[in-house]
Structures are given as C-alpha cells and as structure tokens.
Amino acid sequence: MKEEYILETFDITPRKLYMEKIFHLLDNDNLIMVIGVRRSGKSCLAKQLENELKEKFGDTIQLVRFNFEQINAARISADDLIKYYQEQHVAGKKCYVLLDEVTHVVEWEKAINYISRDSDCKLILFSSNRRIISSELTAVRDNRYDTIHVLPLSLPEFIQFQGFQETTPADTPVWDKRYQRFDERTYTLGEIYKYYITYGGLPIMKPEYMDEERAWVVADGSYGAIVTRDVLEIGNVNGSSTITDTVLLRSVITVMAKSIGDNISATWVGKQTAKYLQRPSSTRTIESYIRSLLNAHLFYIAERYDIRADKPLKTLAKYYIVDASLHNYVTGIRAEDESRLLENKVFFELLRRGYQVCNGKLGREEITLIARNRQEKAYIQVASDSGEESIDHLISPLRRIRDNYPKSVIAFDRETQILPDGIIVLNALDFLMGGSWGR
C-alpha cells in the first residue's frame, strides 16, 4: 500500500549542527524556540536532545517532554499543563521542559508564561509554525528568546542520510569525487545533486524511497500535512484563520513555486491566480495567504535591498520554497527549473550558515543575494549557466559595488578561483558542500 511509505517510522542521522546550537543556548535564561517546516526532523531532534540530556546529567535533572500531536491537545488547556508541571516539578532541581507543537493547547501562551517564571526551568519549544513567536509571550515581548531554524537536509547531510560513501580521498576536487551506496554503483557528486533536487532533503525520504512513485507519495503526504496542519488548522486553533478558499490557496502556492528567484508582489501573484481561476482576488487576501505560507515555513522571503541607497525596499521580494521535493510536487519536474532550484539551494545554504539574506538592487541591475551577519556581508550572484557570457554578465554589476565585502559568482562546471580584482567564482557543488567565498 502506498500509505506504508508515509506511516513507517525512520531513524534520522543526528543533526549535529542543530544539537550544537541548542546546547550552546542551554545555559542562558532565554526561552528556546526550535522552528521549521513540518517533517524537517524537529521531533527527532527533541528525542535526540532528551537522550543527550539524560546521558549528560542523569538523575541530577528533571526532564519533561510532551508531543502535542501525539495526544489530543484540543482537550488540554493551559491550566491542565500548569497543574501537571506544579505536581511533577521538584523545587530547586533543574528541569528541562521540551514541548512539541504546544500551539495546539488552548491558551498555550498562558502556560508558557507561567512555567518560564520558574528560574529552575529551561523551556525548549519545537514548532512547525512561526505563530509560536507570539506577542502574548512575555519572553517575546521582553526579547528574551532564541530561535533555531531547522531546515531540510544540506547536501552533505543528504549524502550521509542516503547512504552514499565517498570512495575518493577527502581532498579530491568536487568534480572528481566518487561515491557508492548499497547498490554498489559509482556516483559522481553531480549525479547525487540531481537526486538532491529531484527527491529533496526532507529526512522522511528514506534511502530506499528514491524512485519516482515513492517520492511522489512522500511529497504528497508532506505537502498535505503542511497545508492542513500548519496553514489551515493552526489558524483555527488560534482563532484567526484567514484561509477560506483552498482552491485559491493551491493556486497561490503554484504561482509562487513556479516563480522562485523572481522579484514578485502580492498584486502580481493575484493577477496570475486570476488567470488560472478566471476570477479575481483582492491583494489583501493574497497577502494574508502568503503570510500564512511564510508562517508555515513552506516559503521563505528574501526582501529587496537598495545597495546604493543602503536601505530595504517595500516593493517586490523573492520567495524560496523550503524543499525541492515540494517544488517538484507542485510544479512537476522540469529541466528549465534547474537554475531556479540552484538559487533556491544557495539561499537555504546561506540561512543554514546563520546569515540573513536579501536580494539586491543596484540601479537597474540585480544582485541575486546579499548575505549578512554581525561580522560580515557578502554579495552573491548565482549563474543560470556556466558559459563565459553568463559569468561576465553577472560579474559586471559586482564590480560596480563600492565596498570591500566579498563578491562571488556561484556556477556549475567551473573551478573555484579568485579573479585578479578579488571576485570569486565558486563552483556550485563546492559551495553546497561547505566551501566559502573566503578561501
């Protein structure tokens, strides 16, 4: 039965990046929120964290963990959760409370505010919806919270999770690397990347599922869970649902998925859906639907930034879909989308590395992505093809940026090199495997 592909349990390869981030934050007094799209592995992280806390601290701590999607949370109130905590907690003993999808609890903010006041308690919330960052939470109002964004598998994680073993030395250039897995075939990194953008990086995609039929079933289940639980139902739980037209919702998702990497607006999306559905929708309605999709982490936004004026722009933005499998499920697998999917992967790799990402406007020209954190900033162009004319076209606006931050072009089939003027041409696979514009 096809349903077996969805319902089987699976063991995820430990997500070391996220565990390190969580442990780094355990000693401060802030509320920790671990957020990300449904089926990206948050519940597995919660279980892994539970095991590691037990191993590290043993009986010297208390540990409480609830997954509110595995119980009937609709029948649990904030008062119920508070009462349970009062009955179980031993005063003076450090207590770690791990709550998975607590937004399903009635008046959940009340419970979180109460438990957060206990100095002996460390709260870690796992949620698939950005509404967890509620203004009703004291920690949010006081800016005493930390967020960790869990994303689908990176390319190195995908390789490990899917059972590929490198057969060439670690220092082999990316284009010469070779891998084998249980079928004993030899794969190039480029071939593995094609699997990566075809089957996606959701950890639920088990190694044996890498065929078209099973992948479609997994993507269908994931898409349905995201839309049903985090776009449609979560609004009802919070009493503020804005989604009333599921046909329009599907049309908005399709238009956005087909337009990843383009600067678009809610007005433009509305015009496209009107063509599909043969009926208009207000811009305000489209804006509310897009906001719900961002809250559910199905899409992420890269707002536009005027480089010369050094300020963000309110008009137009780029939207990137969280996983290639969901893109392909919505739009179909199309060869012409490979350049868009590369830009999509670069965007999420930058987020994974802790950067804030926007897209740049330089007069009439575009800079694909601008990445920044507290210490650095970088300008990045993503090449749709690796031809000299395409590369030169992208390098030209980089040379007109009047600062000394790193400037790079990311392209396939190019050896990573530094040009005489300091601009770096980065091999796309090199970058996705962890390479930096600083090397």
Cα–Cα dist 167/76, whole Å: 52
pTM of the entire structure? 0.92
Residue pair 49/124 in contact (Cβ under 8 Å)? The answer is: yes
CB atoms within 10 A of CB 400: 12
pLDDT average, residue stretch 141-149: 96
30 pLDDT band (50/70/90 cuts)?
very high
Distance CA(232)–CA(212), nearest Å, equals 28
Q: How confident is the model at residue 71 (pLDDT cuts 50, 70, 90)?
A: low
CA dihedral 354, 358, 363, 366 (to 10 degrees): 90
Query: Helices then strands (H, E): number in the chain?
Result: 17, 16
Structural domains in the chain?
3-149 (3.40.50.300), 246-432 (no CATH)
- Residue 190: pLDDT band (50, 70, 90) is very high
**3-state secondary structure (DSSP) of residue 312:** strand
Kindly indicate the confidence band of residue 277, based on its pLDDT and cuts at 50, 70 and 90.
Answer: very high
63 has which bridge partners? 96
Phi, psi of 316 (to 5 degrees): 65, 150
Owner of token pair 């919702």: 249
Q: Could you tell me if 222 and 205 are in contact, meaning their C-beta atoms sit under 8 angstroms apart?
A: no
- Rounded to whole angstroms, the Cα distance separating 43 from 99 reads 10
Q: What is the structure's pLDDT at 60? A: 93
Alpha carbon distance 403, 373 (integer Å): 16
Q: Which residue has the higher pLDDT, 82 or 234?
A: 82
pLDDT of the residue at 139: 97
Dihedral pair phi/psi, residue 123, rounded to 5°: -100, 130
Sign of the alpha-carbon torsion through 229, 234, 237, 243? negative
Of 215 and 19, the structure prediction assigns the larger pLDDT to 19
